[in-house]
Amino acid sequence: MSEKGHAVALFSGGLDSALAVLLILRQNIKVTALTFMTHFGCDITDKSSCAQDSSDMSEKFGFTVKMVHLGHQFVEIVKNPKYGHGKNMNPCIDCRILMLRQAKQFMDTVGADFIFTGEVIGQRPMSQRRPQLDTVLRDSELAGKLVRPLSAKLLPPTEPELSGLLDREKLERISGRSRKRQMELARELGLEDYPSPAGGCLLTDVGYSRRLRDLLNYKPDVDFDDLNLLKVGRHFRLDENTKIVSGRNEEENNKIERYRKNGEWMFEAKDTGSPITLLKGELTEASIQAAAAITARYCRLKNNPEVKISYFRDGDEDHNITVAPESEIMLNQRRI
């Protein structure tokens, strides 16, 4: 059968968005799914329900997936969201509005008929209660064009339903946090492989949010290397201009070296298992002592009374200092 319409999906690859796609596909509507990526964990490298690699699903069921990176637009929203943050640094309402505005531009460009999402009334306390859903609808300027297939029968009919493009009776009336009906629907629609519900966005993580607040407080003009560095290592604040980041393993050491900026100093206990420790700030007697002591605390010689630490940067010869490993009390005082 020829397709009778074209819809654009907001698609994370999680259960709800996948079910929404299948509900629309079974009504003979072409689907182009947009997967949005940010520098805060929602991308296809994550092992969560947020932005799973959806290539197998799209091939099996016959729809197209396009990746869209929100870039600095999203960073600015995280810094100053109109509708505030959740429990941590997650600007869920503003995030949804931005994604829908991007989807609207795409819809207008390709001449699609409507946009749909996997949102469920009452599932998420900040962004999926009815007042918030109405706010998102208004600010995204999609009145009549935004379908929420999993909760459609609990919401006013949309233009595609009123015109007969969508059969409202074939949509769902799910609400609340239970996933029982979703799992039943997955079996009915032949969706066998889907991730367990999980939060993939780092902005909902307490530790990451604490680091991000610290970064924005002392350096409002951040770049992507600054944000990526927040994902790795142990972070310590010396003063308003100085921060220390120490790797936990070889993979993190490599990332720290990748994200460091030209001219920044690194510390290492040579010839033993050692973190790479990055000093972000001015090289002073106090910062050298602190970075070296932290490096000593996490190297394999941490039980020695003193450890020789080398510090270096591109274009300079190595320097050495011998220090006692940092005390747990001081680590806790400085830890971000």
Residue 238: strand, helix, or coil: strand
Give, in degrees to the nearest 5, the angle at Cα 249 between 268 and 319: 5
CA dihedral (295, 297, 302, 308) positive or negative: positive
The pTM is what?
0.88
Closest-CA residue to 118 (of 6, 12, 5): 12
Where in the sequence of the chain do the CATH 3.40.50.620 domains occur? 5-189
Give the pLDDT confidence score for residue 199 in this predicted structure.
Answer: 56
In 26-80, which ranges are continuous DSSP H helix? Answer: 55-61, 71-79
How many Cα atoms occupy the beta-carbon half-sphere of 218 within 13 Å? 16
Q: Are 50 and 200 in contact (CB under 8 A)?
A: yes
Q: Are 294 and 326 in contact (CB under 8 A)?
A: yes
228-286 pLDDT tens trace: 999 999 999 999 999 999 999 999 999 999 999 999 999 999 999 999 999 999 999 99
Q: Are 80 and 98 in contact (CB under 8 A)?
A: no
Mean pLDDT taken over the chain = 92
CA distance 95 to 124: 14
CA distance 45 to 50: 10
Residue whose tokens read 């006692």: 324
What average pLDDT does the segment 68-90 reach? 94
CATH of region 5-189? 3.40.50.620
232, with CB counted inside 10 A (0-12, 13-18, 19+), is: buried
Q: Are 99 and 70 in contact (CB under 8 A)?
A: yes
Residue 155: strand, helix, or coil: coil
33-67 pLDDT tens trace: 999 999 886 544 444 445 455 678 899 999 999 99
First to last CA, the chain: 58
Q: Are 204 and 85 in contact (CB under 8 A)?
A: no
